Each structure stands twice: as structure tokens, then as C-alpha cells.
Structure 1
Amino acid sequence: MRDPEWWKSAVVYQIYPRSFADSDGDGVGDLRGIIDRLDHLVALGVDVIWLSPIYRSPQDDNGYDISDYEDVDPSFGTLEDIDALIAAVHERGMKLVMDLVVNHTSDEHAWFEESRSGTDSPKRDWYWWRPPREGHEGGTPGAEPTNWESFFSGSTWEWDAATGEYYLHLFSRKQPDLNWENPEVRQAVYAMMRWWVDRGVDGFRMDVINLVSKELRPDGSLPDGVVRSGRFGDGSPYYTAGPRIHEFLAEMHAEALADKALLTVGEMPGVTIEQARAFTDPARREVNMVFTFEHMGLDHGPGGKWDQRPLRLTDLKANLAAWQEGLADVGWNSLYWNNHDQPRIVSRFGDDSPEHRVTSAKTLGTVLHMLRGTPYVYQGEELGMTNVDFRRIEEFRDVETLNHYRHALGDGASPEALLAGIRPVSRDNARTPMQWDASANAGFTTGEPWIAVNPNHTEINAEAARADAGSVFHHYRRLIEVRRAHDVVVHGDFALLLPGDEQVFAYTRSLDGQTLLVVANMSGEPADVELEGQADHLAGEVLLSTHDDGAPAEGERVRLAPWESRVLLRR
């Protein structure tokens, strides 16, 4: 019988199809390319593949703007290709999870085209349509129904002159929000989910799923947000984990997910620990786990992601520990450093210099994978892939980046300052092609890649990593093996050590008389620390280490080389 909680011991690998592997030379990754490279994932040892959107789409937001949920975009292949991929994944003993994007569709989806065809359209209420503010002319600044600012800059409202109303889009203007208040919308979504489950998929990663419930006033209007600068306000209190979100997720589970032993993870910007406990409480039957963003905002300044500041290790430890402890008795954690929306972690929280790139990538992996929760590996993370040093705005492809640049330029910012702020944090850092080998275009394509390949692919690539026993790839492979071999990694209790230390991240995991000790130097300088009461554990079996020649512990004291980490087991 299939274990209904099989996902607790699994490791998930995220594929961004556009950048993974191109089989036909058009410069865009595709489903056949993924099939051709599956054995790389078998060698790594992952259990699940999460596929970023491959649905039919105009590609305004690289596939997160869907025009047909039940078809494959021609740039990626066909329905026959996705069937072949599902079969190939299952044949290799892995599972496949699809991206579910149902807060919004593309403005080219048939539902929206029908909705905007007239105010009397049967699908008019499938989206959020509202008239201009009273006393304002539609399409002029200030006439928008609310003052909310889009995640992608500018207003969340787009004027439609043909019908004399605005439609809501929390993201791009080509991504109109679905109106989940309408039960017909919800039933259409659930029917689509059942269609994919019947086709063989093993679960869903749910894009910004906690934004689907909006807070309505009694008269049906939406509230304005607090204005902090400029003319736009923060509308997030009125659409983040809105009043009906638990009702909607419970209904989704009952209608499309119940009794199928699927993996479900909700991407939830702004989610708190208390909210996550409710979302992931098995008794509530909503989702298995959520993606939190708190640890990904610790290096953001007052100006948000474009305003970077140095990470304080004590902040990171406190945050991860709070989530470990907060979901210890109810719910479940997801564990990640990288995804398609985040810059490369080795360039962000690690050190991507030639001296420390490999060891810092290994240590970041160790710290994350030994925590309680389901780890997610983003394509190229297992190679220690780095950010890209794009020099001109024309080299970027990401709609969020380009919108920010255009709006900030219009507000008077200098191009040089904008580029300096964009380079380290743009989502394009995660979206450059997978580096398979040292050949032209990193073995990703025989054509012209849709976005430039990182020039360091001649040194950092899968072929070289698999051939090197000391590579980041083999360290990640061993991390997965340790998780699979030791229940304490999956189910053990967590306890943080040295909470005030700005250099060393240390913690224990304990289960049935076994204790796992993780000790990691998260800096480029040697570390000498005392772990009070941990002498026996420091003398335990070394399950994994970044440095084979590491100095032995002396009682409770341990000396660590720059970016050295160890995993020790005391039985």
C-alpha cells in the first residue's frame, strides 16, 4: 500500500523546462530534452521532479501566464511528450509534480477572452472587474478601483476601454486574477486538476495559492492599501491569506486531491508560522507543506529585494529554528535555498569565489538537508551554479526585472545604480541554461539559447562534476543517501546550538536514542568553537564532511576550516 506521507522522506528536484535541456536546437528547453537527461537525476538520487509550467502560454512571465491548462505549449512539446515524460519518470522510480497556477490566467485564456467580451458575458464574474472610482475618468491615474501596487511594479488594475471597466492583476497586466468567489471558477480548476491526476501526475506545487481569497467590503468593493511612498498602496493585507482561504483549500482537497497520496506544496508569500501550522495540519486536509519566504527576505533592506544588505547568520539561524520548532508537532516544513525566482544561493549566502565556491555550496546543502522537512533542489544547485554578471539591461529577460528597471528609470534613478541593484537579485540568475558540459552553450542547445549561458560553464558543469568525487554533485548525492538511510534525519527532533554565534551554524536532530550533530562554519575564516555538552556527539561516526582532512574534535571544542561542515551520528 502506498505510504500516504511518502513525501516526508522524499527529495524534490525542480526543473525549469525553458532552461533545462533543448532537444531540437531552437534555443528553448523542452520535454524531450528533459527525458534525455533523466538519468542525471537518477544518479543524483532524487525522488520527485517538480516541473515549472509547461502549459500553453504567451510566455509573458515564462509560462506562469497560462492560456490553456490542458495543453502543452508548442515551445515545450506536445501532450504526447508530457505523457512520455510521466512514463519515463515513473519507470525510473521517481514521481512528477506539476506547477498549478490558478490565482490568475493569461489574458489570452479563453475564459478571460469571454469575460472581457462584454459586461453581460456569462464569464464576466470569473475575473475581478470593477468600474473607475466615482468622479474619475477611466484610464487616468487615480481612477483605478484601488491603489494597490503590482508585484511587478505599477498598478494592479488595467483599464479595458472596450467595456469601460478595470480588471485586477496582482502580477503582470497579462495575468488577470481569477475570481475564486465564483464557485464556477473553483469547479473548473478542480476539474482541470483531476484531469492531470488521471494523466498520472503525483501532486502539485501551487503558485501563490494563498492569494486567491480577496477581502471584500459588504458592497463588493475592495479596500485601499496604506500608502508608504508614491501613489500606490500596499494591498497585501486584503489578499494574503484572505478570509476564505482555508475554505477554498479544504474544498480543493476534497474535490481533487483526497485519498490519492499526492504531494501538495503551497507557495505562500507572507505566510506566518501560525498560518503554516493551520495550512499543513493533516487534520484540516489542505496542503502537505508550504513554501515560506521569510528566510529569503533576510538580506533585503528597507527598499525590498532590490535593496540588498549583508546577511547576518544569527538572523538566518533564528528564522530556520523558529520554523523547525513551530511546525514540530503540527504540520511539515519545505526546505529550499533556490528556485526559479531566487538568485543562486552560492552567490548569495555562500562564496562563489574559486577558492570557496565548492565548499560553501556543500555546506549550504548540508545545513539545509539535515533539517526536518522535505528538501527541494533547484536545477544546477547540485553543481554549485552561480549568478551571472550581466552588464547591460538588454541581457535580461525577466518581466519583473524589466518592469522594475523601466519604472525606476522613470522615477529618476540612474541606469548604473539600477543595474548594480538588479545584478545580484534578478530572477534571471536562476534561469540561465543548465550547464551540462564545457562545449558551446554548455550542451544545453545546438542553437541560440533564449538567454545567455553563464561563461563559467567551462569549469562548472555536470560532466565535470560527475567525474569528480569531491564535487558538489557527489556531496548532494551523499546528502540524499544519508536522509534515506537514517530516520533521524526525517523524523528527529531539532535543537539549535550556538544561537548567538555569527560564524557557526550547529544543531542536533534526535530520535529513539540516536543523535545527529550538524556543525558548519558559514564563513571564509577558520572557526574555533566550543559545543557545550556535545563531546560524545563530536566523537560520533562521521556520516558526511566537506573536508576529509578536518581537525579532530578535542572534547567539546572543534576547529573548522573555512566553509567546513560535518554531520556526525551518535547511536
Structure 2
Amino acid sequence: MPHSGHDWWRDAAIYQVYVRSFADADGDGTGDLAGVRARLPYLAELGVDALWFNPWYLSPMADGGYDVADYRAVDPAFGTLDEAEKLISEARELGLRTIVDIVPNHISDRHPWFRAALADPDAEERALFHFRPGRGPDGAEPPNGWTSEFGGPAWTRTVNPDGTPGDWYLHLFTARQPDLNWARTEVRKEHEDVLRFWFERGAAGVRIDSAALLCKDPALPDLADGEPHPYVDRDELHDVYRAWRAVADEYDGVLIGELWLPDTDRFVRYLRPDELHTAFNFDFLACPWDAARLRASVDLTLAAHAPVGAPATWVLCNHDVTRTVTRYGRTDSGFDFAAKRFDTPTDLALGTRRARAAALLSLALPGSVYLYQGEELGLPEAAVPPDRIEDPMHFRSGGVDPGRDGCRVPLPWEGARPPYGFGEGAEPWLPQPADWAPYAAARQGDDPESMLSLYRAALRVRRGEPGFGGGDFRWLDAPDGVLAFARGEGLSCLVNLSPQPVDLPAPCGLLLASGPLDDAGRLPQDTAAWLRSA
């Protein structure tokens, strides 16, 4: 099903829907597609252009749905394939395109391919994974020293049908997510067919999970200084995405990569005209609230994308990282997975001011922007009780890392106490804090000063001002600690990270501000403004 129109993805505002925590229509405690369908008018009123859905496929949920057992089936906890098709269609009628999440590096250990591979050491399906004999006496040591992205070894030993120890299999994530062997034609053809399956059902784009990890050095060597990485950013991966691009182009579909690569020259190779359309900007996401570092991140991003003609993307948080208002309220306002700990001191008032300013900053930059559900409500990271944590990242860290469940707690929609309109019936799958009533969408919708009202206003202005989309960008002179840049004809953005209030340039008109000006009409610390020259 082709999608007509301009290259909408170049300057789109895209809303990330974590279905399990968005809205629960059947009252079983888990968000579902029917819940999303009921809330589509809310998303349309918010003013976004597209919805990106985390995996809704059949899955045992060992890693929040990123362990897929069947890419062509919707998990019963979320609904049915028919409901997914209705959701895509109904969203499109409201002007909202749909982006689905594909997880190509690994599948669930319940997938038929892997079940067949485990059942018989001589099964043809074994070639679709990375099975290897162990090292050391009796093969008791893993084939190499690779570690999982979630901590611990990246290998698990199998048991043969007769009960004897067998070969080991590779899993860069949990043991229940075996890595696929992308050297095999069957693996490549299957994923190209999956792309067609969802494009045929109206999906406008595909977000590619762990996009840099698919291809492995066939020798599976240990990591060595000075040598190409054995499984990150392998050159042969570009052939995979060229084939995917050919499929996407049949449907005017968009490919969006999750690429955590520090080398910008390597990063932008994936954005060449015959590969991915866009990729997530994790440098900006992880950047602390510091004017010089934010400016450097913007410069680096724009400079890297320019030679390949790809649009930059801007994102402040997602389902994997600490929520923005919490992160910006900490002494270390950057983000690093390794640094996450329980009970980190946080000033939420400070974090909220900064998050409001960051919203205007990110929405004013050239390119597309991603908004994670609840960000428009200013939700903080929730402290999930240890006995309710489900994230494998927590358990594989030995309980040191609080994991990612704190940013995945179900949304508050209305009311004074849990479940805040998320659903009626069973308790939500993750507990909601007792003090979240002020964050409820209904309450914020009636407050012109709320975070929700700010996002609605900003997205409305952004959509109505072409200069904020594909217009020119240039830095303006500004005091230390202040970011100032011009967009298109007569538009500018001013973000004050300095301790002193700053004057607005004259003559100008104030389009929108993240907070009130002071009594002298100046922009206070941790506040942003959009301006139009008079």
C-alpha cells in the first residue's frame, strides 16, 4: 500500500507508543491495541504526524516483546492482527502514519526455528543461529569471551536430547533471545518478507532495533584492539539494508535505524541514499544539560548528516532511558546505562523546567523529532518496587541497575488515584505512583500552563511554521550559556542555560516560551523561547 505525499519523515514529529503501558481497554492490566484506538483522538489533538509502536508481535515477553516468536501475529495480550490493521487505518484517517518495530538481530527461544534447532543437534535450523562447541575441558567454557548487552556471558549451553551437555548458542541479549545468523539467505529472505507483510497492511515505516549488531565475523573471535569489531557495525551489514531499502521503496516506506555508534563517519554510512532514511540521534539524547555540549552535539549531528542529505533526528528519551524530567534534575544530567543506580538524588522541579526548555529546543531544530509517550505529560521516572521489576537488565546486573521499568509505567489519563483511567479491572502490570494525579492527561488538558499544553502549543506552531521544519539553520550571537539560532525567515529560538536572565532581541514577537519571563521581560535560567522578528 503506497503512501503518497512529500517526504514527511524528514521533518515529522513522531510519537512512540509503548502499547503495554499506553491504555488498557479490556481491563486485564496490560495496555492493548483497542486502548490505543480509543485514544487516537488524543494523539491527533497533540499534533504529531506519526506513531511508532514498540513490538506488538507474539512473544513470551522475556524482554518486553523484543523476543519475537512470530512477526506476523499480534500477541493476544495486545489484541489481534485484525485490530492492528484497523488501528493503522483509523490512525491514517486522523492524519497519523504508523511505524512498526522490527527486531532482526534475534528472535525468541519459542520461535519455531529455534525450537527445531534445540530439538535435534543435526537439524537444518541450527545453521540459522550461532551454535558452537565450547572451549576448555569437555567444552565447558563459552566459545569466546563476548558479554551480553544486559551483562553476563553472551553464550548459553544447550542440553542434548539424551541429557548430555551440548553446544553453546550466541545471544547478545538474554538467553531467551538467540541471535540469528545473517550470513544465511533464509534469514535475509524471511525479514524481507516480514517487511512486505507490514507494508501491505499500511505501515508507513519500520524502526529497526539494534540495527548495527546483525552481522558477525564468521570466526566469532574475541574482541581485540586494532581489529574490526566482530559484531558491531560490520561492513557486510550495508548489503542487508540496501536490500531492505529496495523493499521499502516498493511501498514508499521509511526505514529508521537504532544505531548506537560513536563514530559519526561510520554512523552516516547507513544513511546513504540507498540505505536507511533516518537513524536515532543518541548523542543528543545522552547529552547533559550544558550549553556548550548541547551546541557541540547539534553541530556534530548536522555536519554528519549534511554530506548524505539525510535529516537529523532529535530525541530526549525513550523506553530504554531515564525519563527527561528526572535525568535533567540530577547532578549528572547526561545518560549512561552503566551509571544507572537506585535512589539517585533528583530535583524534579529543576528537571521539569529544563525538560520544558528542552522540548522547545528539540522541536525547533531542523529534522524530525521523537516524543516518548508520557513525555508530553512531564512524567518522572517511577521508582518500581524491587519485587515488581520485570526488566532483565536489572537481574543480569545482579540487582544493581534499577532497569528500564521506571520509564515504562502505565500512563495516567484521569482521576485522583491509580489506575488513573489506564484501565478498569486488574491492577496495571507495573504499579503507578500514588502521587501521579497531577500528571493525568485530563487534568493537564484543562491547565494552560501544563506540560501537555506546552507540547500541544509547540507542535501546533511547529506545524504551522515551515521554517521550523525544512528551513535554514544558523547560530546567532549570544552570551555564554545561551543557545540562540535562527530558523527560516524571521524565526529564532533562544534557550537560556546560564544563571542570569537574558534580554530578548529587539524588535521581536514572542511566539511561545517554556516558562514565564521575569518582571523585566527577560528570559530566566532554564527557559526557552520561540521568537519572530518584528
Per the TM superposition, whether the score is higher than 0.5 is: yes
Q: Which residue matches 1:33?
A: 35
Which of residues 256, 272, 284 is equivalent to 1:281? Answer: 272
Equivalent positions of 1:510-549 (< 5 A) are 510-511=487-488, 514-522=489-497, 525-528=499-502, 538-549=506-517
Distance (whole Å) between structure 2 residues aligned to residue 404 and residue 539 of structure 1: 55
Q: Which residue matches 2:231?
A: 239
Please tell me the residue identity of whatever aligns with 1:527: P
Distance (whole Å) between structure 2 residues aligned to residue 260 and residue 125 of structure 1: 31
Q: Which residue matches 1:486?
A: 465
Distance (whole Å) between structure 1 residues aligned to residue 479 and residue 497 of structure 2: 13
Give the TM-score normalised by the residue count of structure 1: 0.84
Does the C-alpha gap of structure 1 residues 507 and 29 become closer, same or farther in structure 2, counting only changes over 3 Å? same
3-state DSSP of counterpart to 1:174: coil
Q: Which residue matches 2:283?
A: 294
Distance (whole Å) between structure 2 residues aligned to residue 252 and residue 333 of structure 1: 21
Does the C-alpha gap of structure 1 residues 265 and 509 become closer, same or farther in structure 2, counting only changes over 3 Å? farther
Does the C-alpha gap of structure 1 residues 454 and 522 become closer, same or farther in structure 2, counting only changes over 3 Å? farther
Q: Which residue matches 2:334?
A: none
> C-alpha displacement at 1:313, in angstroms?
4.1
CA contact (8 A) 2:484 2:495 kept: no
Equivalent positions of 1:187-336 (< 5 A) are 187-216=189-218, 221-226=219-224, 237-254=229-246, 256-282=247-273, 285-298=274-287, 312-329=290-307, 330-336=309-315
Please tell me the residue identity of whatever aligns with 2:137: H
CA contact (8 A) 1:98 1:201 kept: yes
Equivalent positions of 1:132-531 (< 5 A) are 132-133=134-135, 135-138=136-139, 140=140, 143-162=141-160, 164-216=166-218, 221-226=219-224, 237-254=229-246, 256-282=247-273, 285-298=274-287, 312-329=290-307, 330-350=309-329, 353=347, 355-356=349-350, 358-390=352-384, 392-406=385-399, 418=400, 422-423=401-402, 426-438=403-415, 439-446=417-424, 447-496=426-475, 501=480, 503-504=481-482, 506-511=483-488, 514-522=489-497, 525-528=499-502
Please tell me the residue identity of whatever aligns with 1:81: E
3-state DSSP of counterpart to 1:164: strand
Does the C-alpha gap of structure 1 residues 44 and 334 become closer, same or farther in structure 2, counting only changes over 3 Å? same
> C-alpha displacement at 1:276, in angstroms?
3.1
Please tell me the residue identity of whatever aligns with 1:295: F
Q: Which residue matches 2:66?
A: 64
CA contact (8 A) 2:378 2:439 kept: yes
Deviation readout 1:454-488 (Å, 9 max, x if unpaired): 22321111011111111111211122122212222
> C-alpha displacement at 1:547, in angstroms?
3.5
Please tell me the residue identity of whatever aligns with 1:539: P
Q: What is the percent sequence identity of the aligned residues? A: 31
Deviation readout 1:484-532 (Å, 9 max, x if unpaired): 122221123333457994x43x132343xx1432111237x44347xxx
Distance (whole Å) between structure 1 residues aligned to residue 376 and residue 196 of structure 2: 33
Please tell me the residue identity of whatever aligns with 2:387: E
CA contact (8 A) 2:328 2:351 kept: no
Distance (whole Å) between structure 2 residues aligned to residue 125 and residue 496 of structure 1: 53
Please tell me the residue identity of whatever aligns with 2:244: M
Please tell me the residue identity of whatever aligns with 2:116: E
Does the C-alpha gap of structure 1 residues 519 and 396 become closer, same or farther in structure 2, counting only changes over 3 Å? same
CA contact (8 A) 2:271 2:278 kept: yes
3-state DSSP of counterpart to 1:440: coil
Q: Which residue matches 1:412?
A: none
CA contact (8 A) 1:69 1:192 kept: yes
CA contact (8 A) 1:265 1:288 kept: yes
> C-alpha displacement at 1:129, in angstroms?
1.2
> C-alpha displacement at 1:258, in angstroms?
1.4
Does the C-alpha gap of structure 1 residues 63 and 278 become closer, same or farther in structure 2, counting only changes over 3 Å? same
Q: Which residue matches 1:414?
A: none
CA contact (8 A) 1:96 1:202 kept: yes
Please tell me the residue identity of whatever aligns with 1:394: D
CA contact (8 A) 2:363 2:458 kept: yes
3-state DSSP of counterpart to 2:296: helix
Deviation readout 1:386-419 (Å, 9 max, x if unpaired): 11234x422322111222134xxxxxxxxxxx3x
Equivalent positions of 1:16-27 (< 5 A) are 16-27=18-29
CA contact (8 A) 2:260 2:282 kept: yes
CA contact (8 A) 2:37 2:87 kept: yes
3-state DSSP of counterpart to 2:310: coil
Distance (whole Å) between structure 1 residues aligned to residue 376 and residue 128 of structure 2: 42
3-state DSSP of counterpart to 1:544: strand
Q: Number of paired residues?
A: 510
Distance (whole Å) between structure 1 residues aligned to residue 283 and residue 49 of structure 2: 26
> C-alpha displacement at 1:291, in angstroms?
1.2
Query: Is there any run of 5+ residues in structure 1 with no aligned partner, and where?
Result: 228-233, 300-310, 407-417, 530-534, 554-558
Q: Which residue matches 2:341?
A: none
Matched, 1:96 2:98: yes
Distance (whole Å) between structure 2 residues aligned to residue 110 and residue 132 of structure 1: 25
3-state DSSP of counterpart to 2:124: coil
3-state DSSP of counterpart to 2:229: helix
Please tell me the residue identity of whatever aligns with 2:306: A
Distance (whole Å) between structure 1 residues aligned to residue 91 and residue 69 of structure 2: 26
Does the C-alpha gap of structure 1 residues 355 and 298 become closer, same or farther in structure 2, counting only changes over 3 Å? closer
CA contact (8 A) 1:9 1:483 kept: no
Query: Is there any run of 5+ residues in structure 2 with no aligned partner, and where?
Result: 331-345
After TM superposition, the structure 1 stretch with the greater mean CA deviation from structure 2, 258-267 or 185-194, is 258-267
Does the C-alpha gap of structure 1 residues 440 and 547 become closer, same or farther in structure 2, counting only changes over 3 Å? closer
3-state DSSP of counterpart to 1:280: coil
> C-alpha displacement at 1:353, in angstroms?
4.8
Deviation readout 1:168-225 (Å, 9 max, x if unpaired): 1000110011111111110011111101111111111110111111123xxxx21102
Please tell me the residue identity of whatever aligns with 1:488: G
Distance (whole Å) between structure 2 residues aligned to residue 389 and residue 522 of structure 1: 28
Does the C-alpha gap of structure 1 residues 312 and 289 become closer, same or farther in structure 2, counting only changes over 3 Å? same
Distance (whole Å) between structure 2 residues aligned to residue 244 and residue 349 of structure 1: 39
Distance (whole Å) between structure 2 residues aligned to residue 116 and residue 274 of structure 1: 40
Does the C-alpha gap of structure 1 residues 244 and 353 become closer, same or farther in structure 2, counting only changes over 3 Å? same
3-state DSSP of counterpart to 1:248: helix
CA contact (8 A) 2:418 2:432 kept: no
After TM superposition, the structure 1 stretch with the greater mean CA deviation from structure 2, 321-330 or 446-455, is 321-330
Q: Which residue matches 2:54?
A: 52
Q: Which residue matches 2:337?
A: none
Does the C-alpha gap of structure 1 residues 499 and 107 become closer, same or farther in structure 2, counting only changes over 3 Å? farther
Please tell me the residue identity of whatever aligns with 1:287: L
> C-alpha displacement at 1:340, in angstroms?
0.5
CA contact (8 A) 1:3 1:261 kept: no
